[in-house]
Structure 1
Amino acid sequence: MDERIARDAQEFGVYARTGGWTFALKVARSVRPGGQAAGETPKVSAKRFGELAGCSAERVMRFYKAWDAAADDGLVPQFEALEPGAEVELPDADVWLSYYVSRNSATSVRGTAITAAAEAEGIRPTKALEVAENPTALRAAILADPSTAQAARAALLDRIKEDPALQTELARDIARTDVLKKAVAQEAKAADRIGFVRQIAEQGELKTPAGQKLQAPAELRQEAERHLSLLDELDDGEEAGAWTTEAYGTVKDLAAQAVEQAVEGDPELRVQERRSKFYSSLEKATKVFEELTLDDADDIYEDDMVQRLEELQRSIGACIAALRKASDGPQ
């Protein structure tokens, strides 16, 4: 066996078992701790070690900090207990990523937040930091992979609840995108329809055209509950549009019939409905008439206008006479 191959295999085996701890040990036993003067130890500074290794001092310090954190947890000896060339038993390789952060961004406010979120999700912070530093790669994954797009959508929905600025930005994007604006309008309409069916099923309440509240018949509530159960049983990816339309149409027709029957069967309620309808029509007519402007009557005058107003005046007079006669009661 070639000695060079054997040496490579042995070093590979050591690294496979210990991972980054192998290199962290080299830093820990060769780089002097902060505050220790050069004359007190044969160890060198992180800058000098990096120059000898052909890498940056920042990279050296990332290994240094990983060892320091592990030492605080009692996994490895403190720096002061290590001399150049010392050998110690190293933790398993899978523990390394719990202490080592390969990016400078992890020490920033943004990096700290990403690290905390990654730990809360039960994933390695290095993965989350890598994604955050490569937005183009994230975009490519979202565009190419439906499951990644779904994960991104779920994450945005969670974040939007506590991010007013993002809420505004997304709302603005939707309003400016015709396809999204149309889709939102359709979903809002569907949600309103489902809400109508759910309100009848759960609260059993109907409203007359005049706004009077009525109790829904038991048969109507049962029908609404049946349609809701069908909607609830649909899979997440299954189209609910046709089911929603059918549920809304059926329940709405039955509700209208129930209201009509209730009004016709209750003389007092029927009078209230007629009174409310009259007031509503009167309010609309008054508003329309008040909006008429006759400042420039000379310019807009037509004989037909006067005739129609005279007819309206006669109708109003007849209406007033009928109301006064009703107020006087039977003669």
Structure 2
Amino acid sequence: MTVRVDSNSQLTPEQERVYRLRNAAERDGGTPGGFLELLAAVVADETWRQTPSGVSAEPFSSFAEFIEAKPPFGLGRRVEDVHVLLQMQHPHEAAAEFRSKMENMRSEVRRLLAEDGITGYSEQQRDRDIQAWAALDRSGSWWLAFFVACQVRSQASATPTNGESRAAGTKLSAAEFARRAGTSPERVLRYYKAWEAAHAAGAVAHGADELWPGHEPVGLPPAEDWTLYYSSRRGATTDRGALISAAAEAEGIRPTKALEVAENPTALRAAILADPRTAEAARAALKALTSEEKRSEHLEYVRQVAEEGKAQAASGQLIMLPEQVRAQVSEQLAAVAETPTDPELVSSAYDLVQELVSRAVEADPEAHATEQRARFQTALKATRKSIATIDPARFPDVVDDGLREEISALQEAVNALVASITRHT
């Protein structure tokens, strides 16, 4: 293979693509749309493996070497610069299909670089994460409450008014924070209220409305003071104490008994470990709590779909629901509004809304195609990764008739897929 480098017209097709990729990185600057698209193509068809690493025509030994090699053979960039560009979004990533393409490219580039021992995880990031760990280690739940106070807006208003901090507009609802964190809105709000109670008592200098996402760490109270604001030690006059008292009365026991147990989690733990009956009661209570959190999450989902008129499909794409479907969801919300504490009724409404969303996706050819494409891509990617775990060097030593049959069946399935693609092109 002869490599000519004296002009662009004399480059090989592979080098021409690399040349355009390098120019895109230099030209696009803050909006590297062209660079990201070209990089996706270079990674997808492994152009970088087909490009000679120098005049010797030897292929690149690693993706990192390809990035750092001087033009016209490589990109002539620093690997850390490429990591920065990967963090930027393409202007068209609002479309689910395009976003999937970009995410697949980013994942593959990071995997290739990780094979070279390059993760893009800087020492500055490491120091930041270690400092966050140290803060959590020193302050326990205070750090978690501080983070919630920075990220979550008050329930009083969905959007900031003129008298509120502008930071409120960048915050999330407790429900959205809980969704992203994989927990319940009630748990998030308990942290929020604990922080506000501490501020009211003068234990912390800033209230939640004075904090914003990314706020610099502030002075935190001693870890041992946490239960003064998060638990019921302040008595039944607190929101938490009132809830405990009401639950105790519903069970026919004195509120003071329940409050005393809540104030002594260590004693409760000892009783659970020592007494099977107490342990069984604790398990039943936790099961009921899990059921309640699930009911709350399902109810919030139905309400959000009804109010916003959109829902997230399985592939992650956001579906705008037709008016007819939205009206049906609103009917379900109205039906459960009268008895929102009925878990069976809420669960039934949740299942029906999910079915309505699924029907809306199937009725939209483009959305349906995106969903199918995402499922197929997930299945194929999983299959490819599973096959990649098989060591070709060791496989011949253990292969038998059963494995040969499995390989033949797999080959036939792949051939059938390839044939189906060929027939429709």
- TM-score, length-normalised on structure 1? 0.41
**RCO higher in structure (CA 8 A, sep ≥6):** 1
User: Which of the pair has more CA radius of gyration?
Assistant: 1
